A = this chain, B = another copy of it.
Amino acid sequence: MQKTTAAPVKFTHVQCGSCPIRHRAVCARCDTDELERLEETKYYRSFEAGQTIVWSGDRMDFVGSVVSGIATLTQTMEDGRRQMVGLLLPSDFVGRPGRETAAYDVVATTDLVMCCFRKKPFETIMLDTPHVGQRLLEMTLDELDAAREWMLLLGRKTAREKIASLIAIIARRDASLKLQSSEGRVVVDLPLTREAMSEYLGLTLETVSRQISALKRDGIIEIEGKRHITIPDFDLLIEEAGDDSDGGFLV
C-alpha cells in the first residue's frame, strides 16, 4: 500500500457529510488514536418514514448526523398543538452532548439513515480532541442563526411569505448540496407533507394548501404532482418571502 495515488478513503467518511468526525480523512491535526476510538463506537441506524426516533423526555444515549432522508425536531403541547423546531437534512447533527434526555420528539419524515455515536465515548473524545468541540460549536452557532431566522418567520411573516420562505430555504439547501441549478430556473422536490409544512410554519395545513395554490395561480411557482416544484424566477420568490437574509444562493 504505497502512496501511489490519493490515500484510500473509507466510504463512511464521505457519507457522513459535515458530521464532526468527517475530518479524519482530511485533517492533519487529528490525533489518529483518538479518532480511531470514536470510529469504533460509530454505527448506522435506519428508520422508516413516519417512525419516531426518540420521544421528548426519553433517554437519548447517542448523538449522530443524518446520512440520507429527513428528520424533524418537534415540540408538542398537552393539548396537541405542535411546532417543528428543527429540520434535519443530510449532514445535519442531532443530539446534545451533556444532556441525558431528549427535549423534543425526533421523527423520521422520510426513510432515514443516521450515522450515530454512543454519547459517552463521544463526549470523552470531545474533551480530548478540541477541534471536534470547535466544529460542534460552529455547527451549533449556525443552527442558532437558523433558529433566529425562523423566529422572524414565525413571529412576523404572513402566510404567503412563510410559504415562499420555506420553499426558498429548501431550494437553497438542496442546491448547495447538489450544486445544481440550471440558470435561474430552480427545481425542488418538497420533502414534507402539507401537514409537516404547517408544523414548520405555525399555520394550519389548509392555509398551507391555499397559499401554495395562490403562489401557483400567480405564476411564482409551477407544480407537478403534489411535491415537485419549479421556480421560474428565484428572485421573484425571494421577493414574496419578504426576505432580507444574506441569502448567497449558491455558495
Interface residues of A (CB under 8 A from B): 73, 75-79, 81-83, 85-86, 96, 98, 103-104, 126-127, 130, 133-134, 136-138, 140-141, 143-145, 147-152, 154-156, 201-202, 242, 244
Contact = CB atoms under 8 A, between A and B. Distances in A.
A148 B202 contact: no
Contacts of A152: 75, 77, 83, 85
Per assembly, the copies of the chain total: 2
B156 A151 contact: no
Nearest to A81: B156
A162 to B, nearest CB: 10
Given A150-B151, A154-B202, A155-B201, 4 more contacts: A77-B152, A81-B156, A82-B156, A83-B156
Contacts of A81: 156
Nearest to A199: B155
B130 A77 contact: no
A141 B140 contact: yes
A242 B88 CA distance: 27
Contacts of A138: 98
Contact of A148 (B104, B126, B134, B156): B104
Given A133-B133, A144-B143, A151 B83 contact: yes
Given A77-B156, A156-B202, A140 B147 contact: no
Contacts of A147: 144, 147-148, 151
B137 A83 contact: no
A96 B76 CA distance: 30
A82 B73 CA distance: 26
B78 A242 contact: yes
Contacts of A148: 73, 75, 85-86, 103-104, 147
Contacts of A202: 154-156
